[in-house]
Homo-oligomer: A and B are copies of this chain.
Amino acid sequence: MKKINTAPLSGMQELLPTDQATFNRLKHTIAKTYHAHGFLPIETPVIDRTDILLAKAGGETEKQIYKVVKTAETADDSDQALRFDHTVPLARYIVEHESDLTFPFKVSQIGRNFRGERAQKGRFREFYQCDVDIVGRGQLALAYDAETILTSLSALNAFHLNTPVLARVSNRKLLSGLIEALDLTAHSADIFSIIDHSEKVTPEKTHSDLSEIGLSSENVVKITTFMDIHGDRATVIRDLENLAIDHPTFQQGTTELGQVLGLLPADQIIADMKIVRGLDYYTGTVFEFYLPEYKEVGSIGGGGRYDNLTSHFTDQAFPSVGSSIGLSRLYYILKTHNLLEDSTQPMIDICLIPISSAEFTTALSLADQLRRQQKTVDVVLFDKKLGDKLSYAAKIAAQGIVIGANETSTGSYKIKNFATGEEQPLEI
């Protein structure tokens, strides 16, 4: 009988071994793809200085950050908290280790981040994020924006899902420029936020939200016309030019968007002015990844260009672009919608079944031989009836080898496939 509540805390992902193995396979696929694209791995500590983590954070983040209580022996250090993303610790890392790095620095980070937000289905308080970032020193060419999108798409494509993956791309200079051109900079934060939330509400609501913050109906139409622009590169660039916004930031945004789109595969990309990204540190290209056949799940990752993130830590400029896949959430979605090939294959290749403890040494040494051939091998070391041993073996392994006195003395074994019942001599 249970004496205590043994469930994990709400908002935590805790998987059974077969699911964990699938999760790990996805994580490994992402890591491999990131490396294949020339990104080098780093890990920053989970616990960091609160003043670093909150240097540029807004209200939401500050409310969700997990602070850590100092222990007697850590009391000399600064105030501490758990990182809520990989980007802020990366900014610290860059400034700290600058002289040991080669720029542009292509870096990947795969690990858990922590946000103490309201627990919801498919959203986690502890969650894996898989990030790539490219950090320039002084400057960073625009083509690297395309490279982060390409890298994330490669990783998502490597899952071989039987549903398409799509990136929606925009550039924050467009909306910023438009706002400046319309002389609405006082409403800038509100307008970004209304567009960011526009897909969760009706177009009428977005319309009335924009009116409510004090926009003239003429300006409301201009903003909604802009945010409805989407499509392939040619369509979107034409529609943006047709708006005839005479502002250098807007024109710069159009040029940048056109150049980035020009380096991306048209069949997996849509330009979409509704993409603005909530976080306020983006300064140019922004993008999000979707499963268009599962619109209701929302974005499964995203990122963008951020030119000023290190500005709280140093006077030197490190313009950067990054992309993140939210793996805990993505795994949950793929699992819930049956988009993962569930391996029906047992997780162990071969289980060795010594009939008695007299065969343990033979079994352990045969196991070693098989492992040298890259097989995963378990050995039954408990003392029960042969039937019980076989039933354990058939549950956890694809094949089994029974080892008795005869096998031990002759050194020849038969291997049985538990699925088919077929038995054949083992060749080593």
Contact = CB atoms under 8 A, between A and B. Distances in A.
Interface of A: 1-18, 20-21, 24, 35-38, 40-49, 51-52, 55, 63-74, 77-78, 80, 82, 92-93, 95-97, 100-102, 104, 106-107, 112, 114, 116-119, 125-126, 136, 139-141, 143-144, 146-147, 150, 154, 263, 312-316, 347-348, 351, 357, 360-361, 364, 367-368, 371, 374-379, 381-383, 392, 395-397
Nearest to A51: B4
A55 B4 contact: yes
A261 to B, nearest CB: 12
A9 B263 contact: no
A69 B71 contact: no
Given A13-B45, A69-B67, A21 B3 contact: no
A11 to B, nearest CB: 7
Contact of A67 (B16, B68, B118): B68
B116 A364 contact: no
A140 to B, nearest CB: 8
A125 B48 CA distance: 12
For A3, A313, A374, A377, the residue with the greatest tally of chain B CB atoms inside 10 Å of its CB is A3
B4 A52 contact: yes
B6 A40 contact: no
Nearest to A378: B38
Contact of A43 (B18, B20, B35, B114): B20
Contacts of A20: 40-43
State how many copies of this chain the complex holds: 2
Contact of A68 (B41, B82, B396): B82
Contact of A9 (B4, B5, B78): B78
Contacts of A78: 5, 9
Contact of A96 (B7, B48, B55): B7
For A17, A146, A375, the residue with the greatest tally of chain B CB atoms inside 10 Å of its CB is A17
B36 A371 contact: yes
A15 to B, nearest CB: 7
B45 A17 contact: no
Given A2-B314, A364-B150, A396-B102, A9 B45 contact: yes
A233 to B, nearest CB: 13
B382 A37 contact: no
A115 to B, nearest CB: 8
A141 B3 contact: no
Contact of A45 (B45, B51, B102, B126): B126
Contacts of A154: 368, 371
A161 to B, nearest CB: 19
For A49, A312, A375, the residue with the greatest tally of chain B CB atoms inside 10 Å of its CB is A49
Given A36-B371, A42-B15, A312-B4, A9 B47 contact: yes
Contacts of A70: 116
Contacts of A150: 364
A395 B102 CA distance: 8
5 contacts: A2-B95, A37-B377, A46-B112, A69-B69, A73-B116
